[in-house]
Chain A
């Protein structure tokens, strides 16, 4: 039984090449793996190896021939033990194990009234959320720099080591790449890590594992391997810590399919969304803000309080303009709205809460009512969250807009240290007031 040997492709882009040299002659016997010829392209010379065994019965292309098309028969092999090809049997794909989703709980509802509240700092809300979820699920654990004995660089994990012990509250060395990768590996095997970055600036060291390992593995595994993990910590500017400690990464992470990105403002946001993030079977980027940690908001006391990821909240209703904000900028927007109200302009303030998925429906519905849009974010404008919100509103409510949308944002510079310069770079309520007055 004769087998044809075909001109091989050396790369996905190769269409033809030169058959430079034959290393075997007619009558030679060959085994699988023997080098039989050399072929050349403009880039490289490569050896062609036999795949089957047998005796060469014909060399169909003389050596030195240029422009031999890929898949042209170049030689014939006979005899040997070439097996009859079994007829291909159709077979179903190896069934990937379905990803088991934890904890059958009712989907959180955004507008549910959770009843009694009490004044709570954002710091306490975050701690309580982790403690509640760690009590509920033994697979949940916290790791990061200074989270255990030091009680957290920003005291978010206060008391957790005492309650849960050193196996579930783990101090790591200052090696973001290594410990974030380790946590992703643990999540691929079914654990539910909470990774605290001392700030998201340091998560740059771990970026490869967040994007390439955590966000993409579910897709690349055909749905077999999910990654239930939360990466959390303060994001954006604090106060006078300079450019390397003051960046907003919201648009970086929100760019990536396979991640969910959450940015809470209030204590209720922080507690309800962090609980949802820990229960979510996907990788979550949870962007906190250092300045908010010490701020106090009313927060539901209900043991079951939880919020849905992917739903925005209308913090203040209004009919003249829609202001879209997230994280600490919700507070700035609310202050601006107060000033505007004194001047007879009623702003509707939307707290996005989640950036990916983005609740554009709530924004579009609001713009259809107010016909005007101002976005505000602390980060840089280029390819920012504001740019994305504006574009999606143009796509969804172009005919309702009575004025061009306006973006308020951090200035397009590395954040300076000097107090006066820093103040010039970060959005203030007055910037929002001015932006609104331009279009109302």
Chain B
């Protein structure tokens, strides 16, 4: 594990740590997220999805690599840019897409929307619309593991923008004091809405933001799913061993605007193009697979499968009925 950390610090990955079926699975998950998000963008454009819709395109390797290392029962919690996390956590594309369209077949029966979805069954705790709130809540999931004395770990995601919130540092302090099993994952996609990270944070190395509390942290190449997987192994195993929290700063990039209605004038088209063409996480893993002899037919089969899932989800999301009007008044309080 120490070796893995060393190689990561040098910006290299030991591809041998991930076998071919795992890599193919990662390719499939990332492609599913991307195709799902493209479809969501399309449905938004058609007016079928309302309100805010924050796409995860470009960042797929982060949650995919983390989930490759996560175990059954580990909890996941994140911000409003949450569709990819739900798919990676094993939630059904249909239920997620139908929530985006506000239909009864959605995970929250249409009452949560893009930013507020949950699955107790898949240990996915949202989907939170208030920047940074999920960090305190994720700490609480870790607290519940600590309190119950089990070895589960809370995977708590937030962005570079949220990393400046006061409650993040309150959470670092509490997690370090109680030695809570929580991996804090900063998805540094370089922009908090339209503000570049160096215009919002005086800290130039977010992986060190937990250092005053003794929280170990490393920077990870978030466009390389294998690097994310290796860092996740280290962080999660440290937490599982009862050694307290761990911080990962995963450097990534979102290709789309902050939300659907963001023209993204704060960065150049060339910058975006360079990331897409030279660093794309899906192309990256595809090259790795090609290098070890995976043939075109295998990719084509996955592409077709993923397209089918996404189209089925889109169809379901348009045919599932709107929630019954009586739903307005349900789920306000637990009865009994």
Contacts and interface: CB of A to CB of B under 8 A. Distances in A.
B34 interface: yes
Nearest to A92: B105
Interface stretch (A156-164, A177-185, A376-384): A177-185
A344 interface: no
Contacts of A224: 107-108, 118-120
A213 B139 contact: no
Contacts of B127: 220
A224 to B, nearest CB: 5
B174 A173 contact: yes
Interface string A56-83: 0000000000000011000000000101
Contact of B331 (A11, A178, A219): A219
Contacts of B75: 189
A179 B44 CA distance: 37
Contact of B118 (A213, A225, A282): A225
B84 interface: no
Contacts of A94: 91-92, 94-95, 105, 107, 119
Interface in A153-201: 167, 172-173, 175, 177-191
A180 to B, nearest CB: 8
Interface stretch (A45-53, A129-137, A427-435): A45-53
B140 A182 contact: yes
Nearest to B75: A189
Given A184-B137, A220-B116, A281-B336, A93 B109 contact: yes
Interface stretch (B14-22, B46-54, B214-222): B46-54
A413 interface: no
**Best-surrounded residue of B77, B94, B332 (most CB of chain A within 10 A):** B332
Given A96-B120, A188-B137, A282-B334, A221 B112 contact: yes
Contacts of A233: none
A224 B34 CA distance: 27
Given A49-B41, A101-B334, A220 B111 contact: yes
A12 interface: yes
A403 interface: no
Interface string B94-138: 110010000011111111100011111100011111100101111
A143 to B, nearest CB: 9
A97 B334 contact: no
A9 B46 contact: yes
A187 B144 CA distance: 8
A46 B263 CA distance: 5
A190 B105 CA distance: 25
Given A10-B260, A213-B137, A177 B126 contact: no
A212 B127 CA distance: 12
Interface stretch (B197-205, B227-235, B244-252, B310-318): B310-318
Contacts of B166: 177
A225 B125 contact: yes
Given A44-B261, A209-B136, A225-B125, A93 B167 contact: no
B70 to A, nearest CB: 16
A89 B316 contact: yes
Contacts of A46: 257, 261, 263
A99 interface: yes
Nearest to B175: A182
A177 B315 contact: no
Contact of A10 (B77, B133, B261): B261
Contacts of B143: 182-183, 185-186, 191
Interface in A13-61: 32-33, 43-46, 48-49, 51
Contact of A71 (B47, B304, B315, B316): B47
A260 B47 CA distance: 37
B260 A258 contact: no
A219 B111 CA distance: 7
A217 B118 contact: yes
Contacts of A71: 46-47
Nearest to B166: A177
Interface in B295-336: 303-304, 307-308, 311-312, 315-316, 318-320, 330-334, 336
Contacts of B174: 172-173, 175, 178-179, 182
B223 interface: no
Contacts of A96: 107, 109, 120
Nearest to A14: B261
A83 B307 contact: yes
Contacts of B120: 96-97, 224-225
Contacts of A294: none
B39 interface: yes
B331 A223 contact: yes
B130 A281 contact: no
Contacts of B121: 97
A179 B316 CA distance: 41
Nearest to B280: A33
B164 interface: no
B177 interface: yes
Contacts of A190: 144
Nearest to B173: A173
Contact of B94 (A91, A213, A226): A91
B41 A222 contact: no
A293 interface: no
Given A178-B171, A282-B334, A186 B130 contact: no
A118 interface: no
A324 B28 CA distance: 64
A178 B334 contact: no
B30 interface: no
B240 interface: no
B170 interface: yes
Contacts of A112: none
Contacts of B311: 83, 85-86
Nearest to A260: B333
A11 B261 contact: yes
Interface in B136-171: 136-144, 147, 166-167, 170-171
Interface in A320-338: none
Contacts of A51: 38-39, 41-42
**Which are the 10 A-B pairs with shortest beta-carbon distances?**
A185-B140, A181-B136, A8-B45, A178-B170, A185-B137, A44-B263, A222-B108, A222-B109, A88-B315, A175-B170
27 contacts: A32-B35, A33-B57, A51-B38, A86-B308, A88-B318, A90-B319, A94-B95, A96-B107, A96-B109, A177-B136, A178-B173, A182-B136, A182-B174, A185-B136, A185-B142, A185-B143, A185-B144, A209-B136, A220-B108, A220-B116, A220-B118, A221-B112, A221-B117, A222-B118, A225-B118, A258-B332, A281-B336
Given A8-B41, A178-B167, A225-B118, 7 more contacts: A7-B45, A178-B136, A185-B125, A189-B125, A213-B130, A219-B332, A221-B108
